[in-house]
Structure 1
Amino acid sequence: MPSGQAKPQDEIVQQEKGAVMNRRHKIIAGLFAVLAASPMALQGTASAIVNGSDAKSLPPGMVEVRSDKGGCGGTLISPDWVLTAVHCLLAGHPTAIRIGSKGRDMGDWKYSQKDYIHEGTDIALLKLSAGDVTLPYKDLSEFAQIKSTDPAVKSRLYVYGWGTTETGNVSPTLKWAEVAVTGTDCHDVGGGPAICSTPVTGYTGTGDSGGPLYDQNMHVAGVVSSGFSGGRTQYGSVANSWDWIVHTMVNP
């Protein structure tokens, strides 16, 4: 969202800006190339919204996260912070965040200035530049709120994502499904406490990792981390990382 004749100093600044934009375009081209070559680039972790339905609108904070490891989901929880999964990131490599549209290749791209990892869990935060996002932002009307308590067993929650579907193809539009909580005694791929679920109308998998697990109020209870046969899924517990998330956002 980010006259007159330019002075020599202005020309230098403009050239530097142009070089930065060229580098950014090359980064995005590289990320798309990775996904085109391997749509299941994050195999072994959570695989797709399978048997889900097309989302009618963009839920609070829902964004797409892409790195050299492939595509994931994420949640914008403030104007400059995105919640996602550690296993979606690649240390020392750029992370891009697509904001503002249900369409997979629509919206705008922003770039993480720094990635933060909650050690011993699969929970991560991405720091955007201040002022990158103000609401409403295209189709995004609100940031997501995060929960400080885990959901109750047997409660029904919602998952969203752009991952591959039961057809084996990456979804061109955002999908969602309902799941049922079976416990909070499992672990995410980072070894941290997790929320466990089974499918009700569908489930997540590769390409949906890092995305939000919403409660009935559309507050984020978990971060998609890993899955097993039959659609059983584990989500990093946001409640367990609550203090770390707040502290990191206040004192990055």
Structure 2
Amino acid sequence: MVALSLLLAAAAAVTSFASAAHARLADPSHGIVGGAEVSAPTPWAAAVGWSRPGMCSGSVVARQWVLTAAHCLLPGDHTMTVAVGSADMAQGEVITVAEKHTRHDLLLLKLVSPATQAVPVKLADADPPVGAENEIFGWGRTSARAPAAGRLKVATVKVTRLDARDNKGGPAIESVKGSGHAHKGDSGGPQFYQGAQVGVCSQGYVERGIQMYASVARSREWIRATAGV
């Protein structure tokens, strides 16, 4: 079975990249399928994009740093922007990206200036146990042909393996859908266990509701060395 990238191929993307993304997302399934729009404040939320925010999801890990997926990068040198601090994408503080740093399928974005309305997430130092019920968040599509969600969505998933691999061969957490599962546009979005971020949305088997999230704990030293958190 071929693993499917979760990157949203949007009309605003560069044509050649969009074509490649569509090839990798041949299954026309929904976005975070099931789940619900968030009701609690999410001041750590980040919508990541190029000419505008919203192509991928992410999280604020420090006031000047956002964590997302490395496969959200476009080929070449393109300006990236993020909207941070609100579950409503249109209400987020829009800031340009100054630097990009990658490790496996993790991408750290340094912003040109600190976010004023965002509150950073807590990052986990250990993976969650197998069997744990975690929460995933993202702005992915809500139906096969719908645009990315304008308001952040959340769903529960159950951890099934800790020896999985992310989209670029790095260590990852495998989970199966609970109240929903991730898909297009949810790339880079966080997975939480007991209030701490344990993973970053990387890839999945859409037809089975399985997703791989790059492990935060096993790249914790790199995050600390790069972003100082």
The TM-score bracket by the shorter chain reads 0.7 to 0.9
Report runs of 4+ in structure 1 exceeding 4 Å deviation.
37-43
Q: Give the distance between the partners of 1:93 and 1:60, measured in 2 at CA.
A: 26
**Matched letter for residue 145 of structure 1:** K
User: SS of 2:200's equivalent?
Assistant: strand
Q: Greater helix percent: which structure? A: 1
Task: Please give the alpha-carbon distance, in whole angstroms, between the structure 2 residues aligned to 1:76 and 1:231.
Answer: 26
* AA matched with 1:101: S
Q: Distance in 1 between matches of 2:48 and 2:199?
A: 16
Contact 1:72 1:88 in 2 (8 A): yes
So what's the TM-score if we normalise by structure 2?
0.83
CA contact (8 A) 2:128 2:193 kept: yes
Give the counterpart letter for 1:59 in structure 2.
Answer: T
The aligned residue for residue 96 of structure 2 is 111
2:7 is matched with which residue?
none
**1:148 corresponding residue in structure 2:** 125
How far does residue 34 in structure 1 lie from its aligned partner after superposition? 0.6
Q: 1:192 aligns with which of 170, 174, 177?
A: 170
Which of 32, 42, 51 is 2:34 aligned to?
A: 51
Corresponding position of 1:86: 70
Q: Give the strand-richer structure, 1 or 2.
A: 2
Shift of 1:122: 0.1
Matches within 5 A, 1:13-28: none
In the alignment, structure 2 segments of 5+ residues that lack a partner are 1-9
What percentage of residue pairs aligned between the two structures are identical?
34
Deviation at 1:165, TM superposition (A): 1.4
Change (3 A) 1:42 1:223: farther
Q: What is the deviation of 1:68?
A: 6.4
Alpha-carbon distance in 2 for matches of 1:72, 1:213: 14
Matching of residue 162 in structure 1 with residue 107 in structure 2? no
What is the CA–CA distance in structure 2 between the aligned matches of 1:238 and 1:86, rounded to whole Å? 13
Name the CA distance, whole Å, in 2 between partners of 1:152 and 1:173.
30
1:133 aligns with 2:100: no
Per-residue displacement from partner, 1:76-100 (whole Å, max 9, x unpaired)? Answer: 0111011110000124111110113
Q: For structure 1, list consecutive stretches of 5 or more residues without a partner in the other structure.
A: 1-31
1:235 to 209, 213, 223: 213
Contact in 2 for aligned 1:157/1:178 (Cα 8 Å): yes
Secondary structure in structure 1 of the residue aligned to 2:221: helix
User: What is the Cα deviation at residue 155 of structure 1?
Assistant: 0.2
Structure 2 match to 1:13 = none
Aligned pair in 2 of structure 1 residues 250, 108: CA closer, same or farther (>3 Å)?
closer
Please tell me whether Structure 1 or Structure 2 has the larger radius of gyration of its CA atoms: 1
SS in structure 2 at match of 1:240: helix
Distance 1:42 1:106, change over 3 A: farther
Q: 1:239 to 1:106 in 2, by over 3 A?
A: same
Q: Deviations over 1:187-244 (max 9, x none)?
A: 0001001000001100001100001011122x11000000112210000011111011
**RMSD, matched Cα:** 2.8
Partners in 2 of 1:68 and 1:178 — Cα distance? 31
- Distance in 1 separating the partners of 2:93 and 2:222: 28
Q: Cα distance, 1:145 vs. partner?
A: 1.1
Matched length: 211
Tell me which of 176, 182, 194 is aligned to 1:204. Answer: 182
How far apart in 2 are the matches of 1:40 and 1:75? 27
**TM-score normalized by the length of structure 1:** 0.76
Tell me what 1:220 maps to: 197
**Rounded Cα–Cα distance in structure 2 between residues aligned with 1:39 and 1:101:** 27
Could you say which residue in structure 2 is the equivalent of 1:123? 106
Contact 1:40 1:207 in 2 (8 A): no
Post-superposition offset of 1:42? 4.3
Write the letter of the residue equivalent to 1:222.
G
Give the whole-Å Cα distance in 2 for the aligned partners of 1:88 and 1:67: 10
